[in-house]
Structure 1
Amino acid sequence: MPRSANEHRPAGDAGPRLDGLAPEALQHLQAAAHAIRDGAIDTASQALDNVLAVAPEHPEALRLYGLLHTRTHRHDEALAMLQRAIAQWPDYALAHSDLGNARQAAGDMDGAFASWRQACTLAPDAPMPWFNLGRNLQLHGDTAAAIAALEQAQAQAPDFLPATILLGDALVHAGRFDEAAARYRAALTLHPACGDAWRGLANMKTRPLSEDDREHLARVLRRPDLLPSDRIATGFALGKVCEDQHRHEQAFAALSAANAQLRELAPWDAGAFRQHADAILAASARLPPPLDPGLGHEAIFIVGLPRSGSTLFEQILAAHPQVEGASELPDLEQVLGEESSRRRQPLLHWIGDASARDWQRLGRRYLERTRRWRRHKPRHTDKLPSNWLLSGVLGAMLPGAPIVDVRRDALEAGWSCYKQQFYRLPHFACTLTDIAAYIRDYERIMAVWQADMPRRIRTQHYEALLAAPEAEIRALLAFCGLPFDPACLDYHHAGRNVRTASAAQVRQPLQHDTARADRYGALLDPLRLGLGRSTMVR
């Protein structure tokens, strides 16, 4: 997804509304806008106070104050400021758009979409309101509506690069790969070094990039003026095309360089993560028995390592007429974050103090937040891989929810993680040794929960699915409390949106030639050693 997308603003929306302000007040407004962008909270607040001292209730100052409060998570103040601005200028599309952002931050998604749509109604010829609406529809999982909004944005501004990229992403998620590729190529026409475009093309993993692409990527990487974000994405794309062409040493070199640059942005601390994981394990072991053991049966959690087949198993389940595939949901983490904010303590500090009634309340809050995924079907999947760390918490909070722990050969899964650019930083996948350490922690902790909750956690092996598809699918459905349905055998025909890097792969039948690690020989020995395996013969 394009970075800093919400920073783009349609030209001319606020200009005429600043007429009549004294030059000094205009300077304060400009200083406030820059300070908000740079995160200088006190500077921005002082500048806005200076404006309001000479122009009380000026809508643009109120709007910027709303932005400031949104950035600092002061939701009530943000909403109040933006509503005061709109009371002065009811037709100010930008203020309505910002009100949508504030409502989203406050957890009012229905209100947020109403505000974003109102912005589009007020400024139908401006690209930014459509882009903002499309971006949030896409984040919310409404891909068809997102495509329609983003097409409007691009129609108003064909050279608006973020809209072009995000439209390509939405088309990928809808399975419209030819159209998506055309959008990414159009973006490269506008900006040949656009890392997001190369990322989009490379993530359509069933479509090889060409020799011309490889040469183009190599030229781009030689540019001294390349932005770090573009250099990283381009490096991952070069690694992909080199692997497709069996240039394994070149692929490894390109991926190693890209991962090193990504790690420089935010280094992963394997030791700190191990301590954190052990602390959550110890705290979760002392949670009270649930008041309602069936609470949460509507949800099916799919956890494990990224790139292990979790999207494939979600696709299988989502082919069932009773299950909606919701992809990687943030709701579990956000519900726990809400409780941490309410208690003014991090999770590890309050987890042991929460009562069974508290956990029941939090479980119901999760079900409330995810209700939209069950509008048409009674159950939904939640396949954020890192939720494995919260398996113990789920036993108290949503004890009726089955957990599918997806496993793939650790060497193959680890190498696949190394090849994938992750945007949530810091990330464990930037070095082979960190990947191995993460896998060891994951397997060790999940073994504890598997022994403690064998009826609630199913270890689902990717390789077992390849060997006996129907038997494994029947067993998976039975574990989830679902009757067998033959549509699950033809999962690749399921008409749904897939919002992960596996969007292309799960729309084809099972592939039996996905192993790649051995082609790299001794280059992957650090990963093998970390996993306790023998190294390759040199």
Structure 2
Amino acid sequence: MPVALLQTVRFAVSCVRTPGAANIGRMSTDNQNPGNDGRSSGRPFAPLQPARQLLGEKRYREAHAYCRNALEQDPDCADAFFVLGIINYEHNQFERALKLFERALEKGHPEPGAHVQAARCYAKLTLPKQALIHIEAAIKLQPSDGFTLASIGATLSALDRHEEAVAFHRQAATASSNDPIVFFNLGSSLQFIGDFEGARKAYRTCLQFAPQYIPARAYLALITKHSPAQNAVAELEAAWQQRHPRDIEGGLQLAHATAKVHEDLADPAAAMDWLDKGKAPVRQNIPSQRMQNQASFEAAEALCHTLGVNSEVQTGGPIYIVGLPRTGTTLVDRIISSHSGIVSAGERPEFGAFLKRAVGNDSADMLDAGTIKGAAGTDLLAVGQNYIESVQGILNGAQRFTDKMPINALLVPAILAALPNARVICLRRQPADSVLSIYRQLFALSALHYRCAHSLEDLADYVARFHGLVETYTGALPSSRFTLVDYETLVEEPEAETRRLLEFCGLDFEQACLDFQENSAPVATASVAQVRQPMYRSSVDRWKRYQPQLEPALEILRKAGRL
């Protein structure tokens, strides 16, 4: 089974994979180009084929021992450092892996793959500028093997460079024309840039080579419109029966795909039944994050009263778009970034990552209560400067950009204190509609903060607490730097709200902002299809169609005074 290279904290549809360690041995070794510093090592390169073979068979201990022995005999053996780096990467030791890849390059490792693997580590460590430097170095070495090309494409996807990623995935498909994961990668990237027909074709090709590959079958169904005469119910149900019972994530993907088909067939009860069928094993096997999420909201409210936020907004600066997922954040991002003076940076995790490093918190959850509390005693201006340099480094120096990471809602006070010229737009949607929309969304299991999406009760509690936090922000933060947008108002009065938001951002009105569906920029979120259509209001009060199935959540919302 391939390893995941990119799995964003947002949505499982953003999962892009590489062929995995088994393909390291197939990398080209003909290239004798110079290493990291542009100089030749002066010695012929000799790949450690036995170590690569062991690595391909996932015999990590033996591969590790072989490399250590090789280094005892030759401390300058570049490929030993390279293979050791792969072993550490496969075990999620990204900082250690990065040091090993850099040692390999220092020792004159000539393969472009060494740069690519370093880039993968930098991407995992949320250091996109450095990742891009290594990707560019790898491209200059003109890689030709499918594994390296696929890795470049996946890393570019991680950096939100989706159009460039497509080109490398196409090259990988040519070089490895029978590798199903290569076609899955291609389909994912085509989906991001809005080429849904191309994505469906790539997913079908993947399934021709690997009929049991669940992600391709699930995502193919998720981007296809189904009808009573032509739908994927039978094949999805067959895949459900054939899946390994311990494959929780695969089952979740299939359940969401089957639910989507039933929604297309106007059967909301069946859709909700399938969602529960897929989410039940998650609830049974993975601990709830409800208590941790509650602590994060409490910490964010306290931070709002602790940090001083200047009401005088400076000119320019980033525009943050935050809120719950599936509540209009992508829509507003498209509206604002359709302006000629703004570029969308996508959903950037850098601010939270830099804050977490500054606080010294090494927990798995990017925005746990400890990180949020620690912001009060941190040099936030330094965090802000690091963030700006990092994001501008991958945007070719663009001065004004949007950052629409929804979960940054928990960091609004820290963001405004760290970046004196930043503004924040916060989306709010009717609570029951928010619960339904998030519950229907397929999240990766690695997205710790959104594990609430697998339980109606946990999700209702999360939504209710979010609304309380937003009310705190509205009362405490300066209106010149923080503004609230109700999704329902936006879809009812799009021009008035668009003009208001542009004025809030210090921007003149442009008609393109109302014609946002014409914006051809890639979208790597769950709203990839919706934002390529004109604004519509059919999702307002959608929860009423699902009211019987939503009752456990509705009861919690009522008790919280949110319904």
TM range (shorter): 0.7 to 0.9
**SS where residue 352 of structure 1 aligns?**
helix
Q: Indicate whether 1:428 and 2:449 are aligned.
A: no
Which residue number corresponds to residue 523 of structure 1?
A: 549
Which residue number corresponds to residue 489 of structure 2?
A: 464
Farther-moved stretch of structure 1 (174-183 vs 227-236)? 227-236
CA shift in 2, pair 1:48/1:341, >3 Å: farther
Higher RCO (CA 8 Å, separation ≥ 6 residues): 2
Could you tell me whether the CA contact under 8 Å between 1:324 and 1:379 is conserved in 2? yes
> Post-superposition shift, 1:407?
1.6
Which residue number corresponds to residue 308 of structure 1?
A: 327
Farther-moved stretch of structure 1 (511-520 vs 482-491)? 511-520
Which residue number corresponds to residue 404 of structure 1?
A: 425
**SS where residue 381 of structure 1 aligns?**
strand
> Post-superposition shift, 1:373?
6.2
Instruction: Name structure 2 gaps, 5 residues minimum.
Output: 1-13, 31-44, 364-368
> Post-superposition shift, 1:20?
8.7
Could you tell me whether the CA contact under 8 Å between 2:319 and 2:403 is conserved in 1? yes
> Post-superposition shift, 1:438?
0.1
Q: Indicate whether 1:100 and 2:119 are aligned.
A: yes
Could you tell me whether the CA contact under 8 Å between 2:101 and 2:114 is conserved in 1? yes
Which residue number corresponds to residue 217 of structure 1?
A: 236
> Post-superposition shift, 1:65?
3.3
> Post-superposition shift, 1:473?
1.1
**SS where residue 302 of structure 1 aligns?**
strand
Cα distance in 2 between the residues matched to 1:484 and 1:520: 39
Cα distance in 1 between the residues matched to 2:314 and 2:281: 44
Q: Indicate whether 1:441 and 2:465 are aligned.
A: yes
The aligned runs of 1:282-321 (5 Å cut-off) are 282-288=302-308, 294=313, 297-321=316-340
Which residue number corresponds to residue 489 of structure 1?
A: 514
- Alignment partner for residue 371 of structure 1, among 392, 396, 420? 392
Could you tell me whether the CA contact under 8 Å between 2:243 and 2:250 is conserved in 1? no
**SS where residue 476 of structure 1 aligns?**
helix
> Post-superposition shift, 1:181?
1.6
> Post-superposition shift, 1:68?
5.5
Which residue number corresponds to residue 380 of structure 1?
A: 401
Cα distance in 1 between the residues matched to 2:524 and 2:388: 21
- Alignment partner for residue 347 of structure 2, among 310, 328, 335? 328
Deviations 1:481-536 (A, max 9, x none): 211111111111112111111111111112222243222231111111111179xx
Letter of the structure 2 residue corresponding to residue 506 of structure 1: V
Which residue number corresponds to residue 195 of structure 1?
A: 214
Cα distance in 2 between the residues matched to 1:377 and 1:99: 25
Which residue number corresponds to residue 254 of structure 2?
A: 234
> Post-superposition shift, 1:173?
1.7
Which residue number corresponds to residue 179 of structure 1?
A: 198
> Post-superposition shift, 1:444?
1.0
> Post-superposition shift, 1:179?
1.1
Cα distance in 1 between the residues matched to 2:388 and 2:129: 16
Which residue number corresponds to residue 140 of structure 1?
A: 159
Farther-moved stretch of structure 1 (266-275 vs 63-72)? 63-72
Could you tell me whether the CA contact under 8 Å between 1:235 and 1:258 is conserved in 2? yes
Letter of the structure 2 residue corresponding to residue 412 of structure 1: D
**SS where residue 434 of structure 1 aligns?**
helix
CA shift in 2, pair 1:110/1:464, >3 Å: closer
Q: Indicate whether 1:417 and 2:438 are aligned.
A: yes
Cα distance in 1 between the residues matched to 2:144 and 2:316: 46
**SS where residue 531 of structure 1 aligns?**
helix
Which residue number corresponds to residue 270 of structure 1?
A: 290
- Alignment partner for residue 281 of structure 1, among 290, 301, 313? 301
**SS where residue 242 of structure 1 aligns?**
helix
Cα distance in 2 between the residues matched to 1:530 and 1:66: 48
**SS where residue 406 of structure 1 aligns?**
strand
Which residue number corresponds to residue 9 of structure 2?
A: none
CA shift in 2, pair 1:500/1:203, >3 Å: farther
Letter of the structure 2 residue corresponding to residue 514 of structure 1: S
**SS where residue 362 of structure 1 aligns?**
helix
Letter of the structure 2 residue corresponding to residue 164 of structure 1: F
Deviations 1:221-250 (A, max 9, x none): 122547433222111000001011012221
**SS where residue 159 of structure 1 aligns?**
coil
CA RMSD after TM alignment: 3.4
Cα distance in 1 between the residues matched to 2:183 and 2:362: 42
> Post-superposition shift, 1:145?
1.0
Deviations 1:440-483 (A, max 9, x none): 11111121111011412222111112222211111111122211
Q: Indicate whether 1:5 and 2:51 are aligned.
A: no
Could you tell me whether the CA contact under 8 Å between 1:410 and 1:439 is conserved in 2? yes
Letter of the structure 1 residue corresponding to residue 276 of structure 2: S
Task: Using structure 2 for the length normalisation, give the TM-score.
Answer: 0.82
Cα distance in 1 between the residues matched to 2:543 and 2:529: 21
Task: Using structure 1 for the length normalisation, give the TM-score.
Answer: 0.86
Cα distance in 1 between the residues matched to 2:250 and 2:130: 35
Q: Indicate whether 1:125 and 2:144 are aligned.
A: yes
Deviations 1:161-218 (A, max 9, x none): 222122112112212121112112222222334332234334437x346743122111
> Post-superposition shift, 1:120?
5.3
Q: Indicate whether 1:249 and 2:269 are aligned.
A: yes
**Sequence identity, in percent?**
25
Farther-moved stretch of structure 1 (513-522 vs 480-489)? 513-522
Cα distance in 2 between the residues matched to 1:5 and 1:156: 14
Q: Indicate whether 1:63 and 2:63 are aligned.
A: no
Farther-moved stretch of structure 1 (168-177 vs 9-18)? 9-18
**SS where residue 160 of structure 2 aligns?**
coil
Cα distance in 2 between the residues matched to 1:323 and 1:373: 15
Which residue number corresponds to residue 500 of structure 1?
A: 525
Could you tell me whether the CA contact under 8 Å between 1:296 and 1:367 is conserved in 2? no
Cα distance in 1 between the residues matched to 2:99 and 2:254: 43
**SS where residue 346 of structure 2 aligns?**
coil
Letter of the structure 1 residue corresponding to residue 27 of structure 2: D
Letter of the structure 2 residue corresponding to residue 441 of structure 1: R
Cα distance in 1 between the residues matched to 2:425 and 2:169: 35
**SS where residue 466 of structure 2 aligns?**
helix
Could you tell me whether the CA contact under 8 Å between 2:300 and 2:373 is conserved in 1? no
Letter of the structure 2 residue corresponding to residue 57 of structure 1: D
Cα distance in 2 between the residues matched to 1:253 and 1:329: 34
Cα distance in 2 between the residues matched to 1:435 and 1:235: 18
> Post-superposition shift, 1:263?
3.5
CA shift in 2, pair 1:194/1:287, >3 Å: same
Cα distance in 2 between the residues matched to 1:48 and 1:20: 8
